[in-house]
Amino acid sequence: LSPDGAFLVTLSAVSEDGAARQTLAIWEWTNEDREGPLLEQEVPVDDLQTSLSFSLDNPSEIVSTGRKHVFFWSWLGNELSCYSPRIHKAKFRQTISAFTRSAFIPESPTGQVLSATVDGDVVMWQLPNAAEDPNGQRVAAKIIHLAEGPITAVETTGGYVALGGEDGAVRFYDKQLRLEAWFEDMEAGAVTSLSFSAEGVTSSFTGAGDSQASGEKKGGLDFSIPDFIVGTRMGYVVGMEAALFDEVEAENRRGT
């Protein structure tokens, strides 16, 4: 669903015989007079796209993610277009594993988008300047290793990037991808989804901050986020809030 609630984007299933590719469709679902999709287009390659995300800054921009390709979609008037940037191995000198999820970084001056992988890496895409690419298509700017296993959920809230993992943890980073807070004691299974309150219900923690390695207090921390819900592969739906980060006992950090 688009941030303004006006549009819905969907991906079709792949036919059993593999003869038909997926189709991405945009629906103006609030228009009672329109029966079919507003726009639709076939995914250009045979790479199952498994997730979608709207840009919070521009509802006409969408990112879809498959194991091998990340597609950036945009529409203007009655035209829907897409492209998938290539990652040049010579530039990064490493192989990129399968992609899992992607998300736009709100209010990014360079239009940054993050795509996570099964190896715990995050690819940061951004718009080049006009001299580098007059077409204005996003390119891979950097690759950062953030987890020791698959990253299975990527969302943004306020000034934070939230990553959920196969290890069952949810970790929050600032927009420079520096770790700010972590919730690792839910014991509810691999994270499949993250959903944040849109009603302004927030909780916060202001304190010295726990050192992840030693448990010692050091540095200042002012961490405030909306209450959020974590969906897991084991079928749990866990309610969480920022104040749980300051709980001493692990059982008190597991949410409800």
Q: How far is CA 149 from the centre of its chain?
A: 16
- Counting other chains too, the contacts that 124-133 makes at CB distance below 8 Å and 24 or more residues apart are 124/177, 125/70, 125/72, 125/85
Band (pLDDT 50/70/90 cuts) for residue 202 is: low
Angle formed at CA 127 by CA 192 and CA 131, multiple of 5 degrees: 165
Query: How confident is the prediction for the chain on average, in pLDDT?
Result: 89
Instruction: Considering only residues 3 and 212, tell me which one the structure prediction assigns the higher pLDDT.
Output: 3
Structure confidence by residue, pLDDT tens digits, 122-141? 999 999 875 555 568 999 99
User: Percent of the chain beyond pLDDT 70?
Assistant: 88
Band (pLDDT 50/70/90 cuts) for residue 109 is: very high
Task: Tell me whether residue 156 is exposed, middle or buried, using C-beta atoms within 10 angstroms of its C-beta: 0 to 12, 13 to 18, 19 or more.
Answer: buried
Contact by Cβ (8 Å): 135, 129:
no
pLDDT at residue 217, rounded to an integer: 39
Taken in order 104, 67, 236, 149, is the CA torsion positive or negative? negative
Band (pLDDT 50/70/90 cuts) for residue 107 is: very high
Taken in order 136, 158, 4, 54, is the CA torsion positive or negative? positive
Contact by Cβ (8 Å): 160, 174:
yes
Structure confidence by residue, pLDDT tens digits, 61-82? 999 999 999 999 999 988 999 9
pLDDT at residue 91, rounded to an integer: 84
Structure confidence by residue, pLDDT tens digits, 24-48? 999 999 998 998 999 999 999 999 9
How many CA atoms lie less than 13 Å away from 91 in the CB half-sphere?
Answer: 10
